[in-house]
Structure 1
Amino acid sequence: MDQNQLDILWSEREIRAVLQRYCRGLDRLDEELVKSAYHEDAYDDRGVIRGNAHDFVKQIVPILRDTYTGTLHTLHGSTIEVDGDRAGVETYCTAYHYRESDGIKRVEQFAGRYIDRFELREGVWKIARRVVLNDFSLAQEVPLDPAEAQAGFNPSRRDATDVSYQVLPLSGPDAPTV
């Protein structure tokens, strides 16, 4: 394997880490973590919301906090084409949003794709432009009381008190490098 192939493999690894960080930040309602996936001047296009990605993050995290009891963003396959300091990336994703409205418990599911242009700037890969495509969405009433379904499991938290922050510090000397 030559150096160019190793560079591509490392770039793919870093890009996947950015995608994971984005999802983790949304589910933990961590604005700084979500913003860390985007360059400062990144553009995000979701159809109904278009504009600076950091402005989008400032809008979406309070909406997720105030509207939903919980969210779970999952990533599936990614196709990554690295070309120097740019990369085209298509990632399949599913997002689940749980909420109670008017006494009805619902799960809203989004299935789609993130179409990203990543750029390597100052040695760091981040999203420069994102378009989110909706392949399908659905909403369902939750027939089982979630407390019954979760009996015996450790609870998840939607902030920095989540146990994941004990093993994944975000700043300071123990923070993972990107």
Structure 2
Amino acid sequence: MSDRNAALNALLDREALRDLAMRYARAIDRRDQDLLRSVYHDDAIDDHGLVFCDRAALFVAQLPQLMAPFAITAHHLTNQSYRIEGDRADGELYFIAYHRTDGPDEKHLIALGRYLDNYERRGGDWKIAHRRLVWDSFITLDAGADDMAQLAALGVMGSAAGDRSYEALPLMGPGQ
């Protein structure tokens, strides 16, 4: 029975880490500083390479400035591998991050890479203690003059704090 309990606990820990990863992606794309703050320990480090490398609390505080050039972003997490030992865990998460720049010379920017995360469970909650990024690929494409109009023609567009998800998914409001 103890093997089964250990397996169930391992599954619960992995699911908590996956939920943490999904909250990070949602927080970045919604520009939700409260939600983003919730994925990091207070003393966590975030190393995005030359983009940002410092305390995660400063990364959260600078989110509006870091995201200001982008009209739309969409962070997709694909392969996720975790190793858990007690209250510590390591994770490698592959990402595809789409960014559409705002302004007169609009571009589609697509970055591919990996989050290399060290997690700690403190007070029963898993959070990121240290995040490092590995950049694997970067693609820049010119945006067409009518791209946004075509997107709008498909229906409701969304990104950032005004995203439709806040209305449609009340249990997932800001900071949730």
TM-score, length basis structure 1: 0.88
Tell me how large the CA RMSD over aligned residues is.
1.8
Distance 1:155 1:45 in 2: 31
Contact 1:70 1:99 in 2 (8 A): yes
Corresponding residue number in structure 1 for 2:72 = 70
Deviations 1:29-80 (A, max 9, x none): 111111111000001112222111111121133320x211111111001001
More helix by share: 2
Corresponding residue number in structure 1 for 2:108 = 107
Distance 1:60 1:96 in 2: 16
Matched, 1:40 2:42: yes
Helix, strand or coil: the match of 1:47? coil
Matched, 1:8 2:10: yes
Q: 1:160 deviation in Å?
A: 5.5
Classify 1:18/1:160 alpha carbon distance in 2 versus 1 (closer, same or farther; 3 Å): farther
Contact 2:34 2:174 in 1 (8 A): no
Q: How does 1:144-163 map to 2 (within 5 A)?
A: 144-159=146-161, 162-163=164-165
Distance 2:101 2:174 in 1: 28
TM-score, length basis structure 2: 0.89
> Structure 2: which 5+ runs fail to align?
none
Deviations 1:105-128 (A, max 9, x none): 211111000000111100000000
Contact 1:73 1:96 in 2 (8 A): yes
Distance 1:56 1:29 in 2: 12
2:172 to 153, 168, 171: 168
Corresponding residue number in structure 2 for 1:138 = 139
Contact 1:42 1:127 in 2 (8 A): yes
Helix, strand or coil: the match of 1:10? helix
Distance 2:64 2:6 in 1: 38
Matched, 1:60 2:63: yes
Residue identity (%) = 29
Helix, strand or coil: the match of 1:54? helix
> Deviating runs (4+, > 6 A) in structure 1?
none
Corresponding residue number in structure 1 for 2:125 = 124
